[in-house]
Amino acid sequence: MTTFAQKQSPAVRTTPDGARRSPAQKPRRRPKDRLAKVVIILLLLTGAAFAAFPIIWMASSSFKPNTEIFAYPPQLITSNFSFDAYITILTDPTKVRFFINSYVVSLAVTALTLLVAILASYAFSRYEFKGKRPINMIIVSIQAVPPITLLIPFFGLMVVLGLYNTYQGLILTYLVFTLPYAIIMMTGYFNTLPKELDEAARMDGAGPLTVLWRILVPISIPGIVSVGVYTFMIAWNEYLFALTLTRTEDMRTVPIGIQLLMGQNSYEWNEMMAMSILGCIPVLILFLFFQRYFIGGMTAGAVKS
């Protein structure tokens, strides 16, 4: 995956070269190219409107009073522009609690996933052992097990274990969905690192754990960030199990919190939109800062180096 991020930069660099070269070689094609460029820009803009308009509308609605949500004709910015919806949410302890819950669960899942996945990936990347292929195959196929199939036994299991309506219950549950992906991505990353690195350290008498923590982990930070960002997003966005395995308002996460706003007697659209904006900020920030790693994570599943 991150091999990909590394490969991408030369690929990107060759593109403008090609662009500069081709008009120089074939000056006759210039007007045609200009027309093509206009068409492409127009298509790009249409696509951007399709992708971004709903999001702009969400932001715009979060700044409106609820009475103006369906005002006719619709306006992007009304004269009553205000932060009231945000203030209502951020001063309501029940709603702030949704955010705290989401952070606690997502951060714990990310830390645990990274720890367990790094250990497993080290074994997959650096050792040959009996059962390696079947275990690897099981991990790949586990990704496909439908959440709804696990939901009913998980409900029973969590009640029996006393983990129903707790952080621990949710954290353990999410591990099942984040681990396979994390292990596959992490193994891919370790495989790109030369084995000579750890063999040299082994010669000096370092044990496998020392090699892993002192040599491999420090140079794998980009891969670890990729996996971490991706894991955080899966946990932050999860809905089905958060809905079923928690019961009380003080254990609900943000996605469920948004739905709870919808259930109350009237629809507070502006508050729902404000909460949505607040709810997507962590993922947006991660995305803007770690875009390359993020894209590495997205492409890891299907693109192989």
Partner 1 sequence: MASTNTVVRPGSTKSRTSGWAPTARKLTPYAFLSPTVIVMLVLMLIPVIMVIGYSFMDNVITNKNPVFVGIDNYVEVLSDPVFRTATGNTLFFTLVSVAAHLLLGLGFAMLLNSPLVGNVTKALFRVVYILPWLFTVAIIAVLWRLMLNPNGVVNYILISLGLTDKGIEWLSSPDTALLAVTFINIWAGYSFYMVTLLAGLQGVPADLYEAARVDGASAFQRFWNVTLPQLKPIIISMSVLDIIWTSQQFALIWMTTGGGPVNVTEMLSTYTYKLAFSRYEFSVASASAVLILLLTMVLAFFYVRHQKARD
Question: Which residues, numbered 78-117, are part of the site for partner 1 (CB under 8 A)?
Answer: 115-117
Q: Is 191 in the site for partner 1 (CB under 8 A)?
A: no
As measured in angstroms, the least distance from the Cβ of 286 to partner 1 is 9
Distances (CA, A) of 102 to 9, 42, 196: 35, 40, 41
Quote the CA–CA distance of 249 and 247 in Å, as a whole number: 7
Interacting residue with partner 1 among 163, 201, 216, 254 (CB under 8 A): 254
Please tell me whether residue 40 binds partner 1 under the rule CB under 8 A: yes
DSSP state string for 130-141: TTHHHHHHHHHH
Which of the residues 148 through 187 are near partner 1 (CB under 8 A)?
A: 148-157, 172-173, 175-176, 179, 183
Q: Which stretch binds partner 1 (CB under 8 A): 91-99, 189-197, 221-229, 257-265?
A: 257-265
Binding to partner 1 in span 43-62, by CB under 8 A:
43-44, 47-48, 50-52, 54-55, 57-58, 61
Contact pick of 100, 140, 200, 219 for partner 1 (by CB under 8 A): 140
| DSSP line for 142-171 | HTTS-HHHHHHHHHHHHHHTT-TTSHHHHH
Neighbours of 32 (CB within 10 A): 10
> How far is C-alpha 258 from the geometric centre of its chain's CA atoms?
19
The CA-atom distances, in angstroms, between 107 and each of 102, 104, 167 are: 8, 5, 11
Question: Given candidates 87, 100, 137, 219, which one binds partner 1 under the rule CB under 8 A?
Answer: 137
Which residue, chain included where needed, has tokens 């006759």?
28
Pick the binder of partner 1 from 273, 274, 290, 293 (CB under 8 A): 273
Q: Would you tell me how many other CB atoms lie within 10 Å of the CB of residue 240?
A: 13
Q: By rule CB under 8 A, what count of residues binds partner 1? A: 109
Task: Identify residue 44 by its one-letter amino acid code.
Answer: L
Tell me which stretch binds partner 1 (CB under 8 A): 81-89, 128-136, 191-199, 217-225: 128-136
Q: What is the largest CA-CA distance in the chain?
A: 76
Least separation in angstroms between residue 106's CB and partner 1 is 11
- Name which position in 63, 227, 276, 293 contacts partner 1 (CB under 8 A): 276
Per CB under 8 A, the list member of 27, 127, 194, 196 interacting with partner 1 is 127
CB of 83 to partner 1, least distance (A): 19
The single-letter DSSP state of residue 214 is I
Q: How far is CA 261 from the centre of its chain?
A: 24
Backbone angles phi, psi at 29, to 5 degrees: -80, 0
Site for partner 1, residues 224 to 253, rule: CB under 8 A: 233, 236-237, 239-240, 244
